[in-house]
Homo-oligomer: A and B are copies of this chain.
Amino acid sequence: MALAYDGAIQQLIDSFARLPGIGPKGAQRIAFYLLGADAQEVQDLADAITTAKAKVRFCEICGNVCETSPCPICEDPRRDRAVICVVEEPKDVMSIERTREYRGLYHVLGGAINPMANIGPSDLRIPNLLKRLKSGEVTEVIMALDPNIEGEATTTYLSRLLGPLEIKLTRLASGLPVGSDLEYADEITLGRALTGRSEV
């Protein structure tokens, strides 16, 4: 009996099923969508994949993904060069940009310290960060790592490392997410919100 689709279809399903967040049923759904879709749309998807892979590199200064290195943010003369926001991944840069609240530069570490996954400080772009800070231009470093165990460990590690440099070290506020319900906040978050309370 035919327990797999004809070669090319099964290969298409398998290729999609390997991507993060797509299961076998989702991959099958996408494959049949593509088989029924406009030929141009399908070609555009294949082209977008090969083009992005060929064009994209990492910025030699901040480590963000970009098509030109240094990236547009590092090159932008309107940005405040005295502040560097340290994040884990390139996608975090975009999250902070979307707030429209930040005008400084970034530094992408490429992850966080995670002994379980065998990621230590030497696997992160920490030397590049130190080099940037030694230029003397930077007056504040904002730690914007994920508020989980790995992010906290990395923030602690970096704050000890950068402590002697006489640069202001700050971190993102912990507290209640806007639009959430106090009732559903976990104890740690609510505790942090209390500790970090501000005057009205």
On A, residues with C-beta under 8 Å from B are 1-3, 5-9, 11-12, 14-16, 18-22, 26, 28-35, 39, 41-53, 55-56, 65-68, 71-73, 89-91, 94, 97-98, 100, 103
Q: For residue A9, which residues in chain B have a CB less than 8 angstroms away from its CB?
A: 52, 56, 65, 67
**Contact between chains at B91 and A28 (CB < 8 Å):** yes
**Contact between chains at A48 and B11 (CB < 8 Å):** yes
- Expressed in whole angstroms, the Cα–Cα distance for A28 and B93 within the complex equals 13
A50 and B43 in contact (CB under 8 A), knowing A2-B97, A20-B33? yes
**Contact between chains at B39 and A73 (CB < 8 Å):** no
- Expressed in whole angstroms, the Cα–Cα distance for A45 and B41 within the complex equals 15
Shortest beta-carbon distance from A45 to chain B in Å: 5
Q: For residue A2, which residues in chain B have a CB less than 8 angstroms away from its CB?
A: 72-73, 94, 97
**Contact between chains at A56 and B6 (CB < 8 Å):** yes
Q: For residue A56, which residues in chain B have a CB less than 8 angstroms away from its CB?
A: 6, 8-9, 35
For this complex, 6 residue pairs linking A to B, each with C-beta atoms less than 8 Å apart, are: A7-B55, A8-B56, A9-B65, A15-B45, A34-B52, A35-B65
- Expressed in whole angstroms, the Cα–Cα distance for A72 and B6 within the complex equals 9
**Contact between chains at A51 and B97 (CB < 8 Å):** no
Shortest beta-carbon distance from A117 to chain B in Å: 15
**Contact between chains at B21 and A29 (CB < 8 Å):** yes
**Contact between chains at B42 and A53 (CB < 8 Å):** yes
Shortest beta-carbon distance from A193 to chain B in Å: 25
Q: Which residue of B lies closest to A10 (CB)?
A: B52
CB < 8 Å neighbour of A50 from B20, B35, B42, B97: B42
Chain A to chain B: the 10 pairs with minimum beta-carbon distance, closest first:
A12-B52, A15-B48, A8-B52, A8-B55, A6-B67, A46-B46, A46-B49, A15-B45, A42-B53, A12-B48
